[in-house]
């Protein structure tokens, strides 16, 4: 892989996909972009051809995920600290370095020339700097990456898997090296494309036929009869999605919904807390027909999205309440047979689908969120009637937000934990097998913790 010196194409043009990706990266940095399956929040990508849009999508997600690896290699070829580099120039350097280090489809000279052209308004001196750094990356970058990422130290892992050192240390300490490395490899890969068949509108064979007609190939998921992994165009643009036959939902999220609905019969009362945008609410409605469901969330905008989702999926009769969980009315106390608390969390199980999350989270967030989660689970517990169940779920992995929260409630008395590990072989938490820890890549690309607690009859609330 070699690059030729230059200052961009003679006419100053840049590949449409790379230009759009660079503008999208600038939007991410300014806080104006979000990541989802279609990158719909980036209008720069929407104007591209289908082929260029796919490439730009790959470039944006890959550059953001691999920022740690890219910065380590780029830093090896710059004299001044990389943090001192102009932000727009750094975006161009990272974008080009990602292609040079992790993709093989584009000639190195084209990648370098486009990066030089993107920084034209910064002046010739900056263009010369960009050209020189990227020529070195093209020539020696992969060797540098191999050297920097070699070894078993936390910093080598952080370069190899493009993750903050604190996160690497936490995962290795709590999961062990093998599981931590498998998780980090999955986090650097493609996000999970999993859906749930909405059995209120279609059975699985009918939904698969409709998806196939829309160009989406599907594969079943063992242990989750309504789950399908899919491949093809964006699900949200398909007729089966618009018609409410299917909805995106990760395997881990579906496990949580199945656990929460288990044993709930007609006429039972279910409380879904922190419910918006309604993914699990709809799952509960399909899994427990005849149950009376109340869904609570504090965010009116998210509740409106929830109403739209429930309407699309044909879910009717759900009582929707706008409230902070910590401020629920006293009438909720002891009123529900089953409560699901999908609590706000660090989201570290979703690194594959939320490309920028690893760089936005801080280690201090874990303790702060765990404190909130302990308050939330206590309030949720008060809503459960004697012999009722409380399901606690979070799309994250740290023990402070998972085992620590559940065991705090158990220690206060009046509750016992159901043995979920026995019902879900291979998914038991390595440190406490009665709880579930859904870990990539064995179960998709999203990590989830699920516990179900049963209120002891006669125990005081």
Rounded Cα distance between 358 and 356, Å, is 6
CB atoms within 10 A of CB 362: 12
Q: What is the DSSP string of 259-287?
A: HHHTT--TT-EEEEES-TT-HHHHHHHHH
- What φ, ψ does residue 314 adopt, rounded to 5°? 70, 30
Longest dimension (CA), the chain: 81
Could you tell me whether strands 432-438 and 448-455 are parallel, antiparallel, or unpaired per DSSP bridges?
antiparallel
HSE value, Cβ hemisphere, 13 Å, CA-based, for 364: 0
Contact (Cβ atoms closer than 8 angstroms) between residue 260 and residue 391: yes
Place of tokens 């292609």: 99
The two structure tokens encoding residue 263: 């044993």
Rounded Cα distance between 139 and 121, Å, is 26
The two structure tokens encoding residue 293: 């469901």
Contact (Cβ atoms closer than 8 angstroms) between residue 37 and residue 144: no
Catalytic residue chosen out of the listed positions 274, 345, 383, 395: 395
- 274 as an active site residue: the answer is no
Closest CA to 63 of 16, 120, 111, 22: 22
Closest CA to 6 of 87, 108, 98, 77: 108
* Residues designated as active site: 395
């Amino acid at each position: 892989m070699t690059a030729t010196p230059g200052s961009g194409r003679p006419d100053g043009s840049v590949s449409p996909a790379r230009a759009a990706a660079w503008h999208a990266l600038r939007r991410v940095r300014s806080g104006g972009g979000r990541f989802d399956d279609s990158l719909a929040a980036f209008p720069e990508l929407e104007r591209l051809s289908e082929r260029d849009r796919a490439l730009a999508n790959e470039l944006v997600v890959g550059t953001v995920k691999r920022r740690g690896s890219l910065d380590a290699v780029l830093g090896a070829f710059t004299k001044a600290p990389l943090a001192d580099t102009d932000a727009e120039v750094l975006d161009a350097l990272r974008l080009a370095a990602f292609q040079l280090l992790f993709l093989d489809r584009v000639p190195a000279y084209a990648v370098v020339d486009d990066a030089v052209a993107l920084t034209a308004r910064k002046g010739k001196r900056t263009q010369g700097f960009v050209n020189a750094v990227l020529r070195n990356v093209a020539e020696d970058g992969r060797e540098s990456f191999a050297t920097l990422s070699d070894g078993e130290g936390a910093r080598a892992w952080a370069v190899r898997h493009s993750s903050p050192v604190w996160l690497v240390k936490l995962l290795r300490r709590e999961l062990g090296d093998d599981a931590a490395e498998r998780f980090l490899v999955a986090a650097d890969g493609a996000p999970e494309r999993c859906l749930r068949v909405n059995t209120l509108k279609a059975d699985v064979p009918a939904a698969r036929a409709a998806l196939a007609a829309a160009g989406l190939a599907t594969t079943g998921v063992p242990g989750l009869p309504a789950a399908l992994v899919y491949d093809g165009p964006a699900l949200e643009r398909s007729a089966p999605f618009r018609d409410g036959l299917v909805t995106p939902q990760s395997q881990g999220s579906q496990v949580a919904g199945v656990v929460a609905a288990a044993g709930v019969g007609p006429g039972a009362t279910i409380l879904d807390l922190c419910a918006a945008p309604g993914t699990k609410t709809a799952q509960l409605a399909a899994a427990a027909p005849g149950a009376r469901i109340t869904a609570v969330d504090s965010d009116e905008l998210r509740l409106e999205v929830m109403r739209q989702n429930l309407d699309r999926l044909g879910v009717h009769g759900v009582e929707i309440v706008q409230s902070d969980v910590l401020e629920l009315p006293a009438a909720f106390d002891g009123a529900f047979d089953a409560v699901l608390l999908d609590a706000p969390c660090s989201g570290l199980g979703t690194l594959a689908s939320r490309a920028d999350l690893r760089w936005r989270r801080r280690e201090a967030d874990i303790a702060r969120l765990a404190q909130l989660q302990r308050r939330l689970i206590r309030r949720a517990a008060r809503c459960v009637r004697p012999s009722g169940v409380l399901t606690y779920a979070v799309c994250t992995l740290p023990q402070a937000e998972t085992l620590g929260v559940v065991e705090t409630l158990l220690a206060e008395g009046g509750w016992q934990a159901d043995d979920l590990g026995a019902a879900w072989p291979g998914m038991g938490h390595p440190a406490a097998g009665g709880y579930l820890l859904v870990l990539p890549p064995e179960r998709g690309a999203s990590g989830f913790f699920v516990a179900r607690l049963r209120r002891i009859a006669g125990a005081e609330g």
